[in-house]
Structure 1
């Protein structure tokens, strides 16, 4: 039986938060489809819940540093997530192409952080 250290618990919580955040638009679209018969997909939801993403990434970072796991993916995707989230929230009227690019980059960084969490939990 594996030992449940606080750092492992932090990593599990951070990874779970990031995965739930990534799945939330799909889950809410299915709920709206079942409830009203309309498929409403909110592709901006992951960026709107940016504070939740920061909490999950912080938990994942603390757990990774406490366990002294190689964190190459973390140090690549965490700054990308924070910078793109800041850009998305700071700009008042960006062009749709630029905003779409930043949103895609932000979501890819969330996927990379979740992948780091899943991969690190195997160690």
Structure 2
């Protein structure tokens, strides 16, 4: 994904059009004066896929992160499975417990998530 007007996945910035919502940057250390514009769309398709890239460096880096982490053509089910595998391998496998109580296990995993974000 490149930040260009011809791409279906894009960064929208500029003057607000009728029906759009102006969102100014709200970062503690932001020095940017660019306004980001969001809008609402309707689609005939029953499902709409969206990918979001995040970077504190630049829009171009955010687009690169999307391409690197979720290449074009990657199915949502593959993203879900890859995420589960990464969490089980990199995070959840580092903690062991002898409990089989489902309530306690259901508390453990979100707790591990929140200490890792």
Greater percentage in strand:
2
Higher relative contact order, structure no. (Cα contacts within 8 Å, ≥ 6 residues apart): 1
Greater percentage in helix:
1
TM-score by length of 2: 0.24
TM-score by length of 1: 0.23
Larger Rg: 2
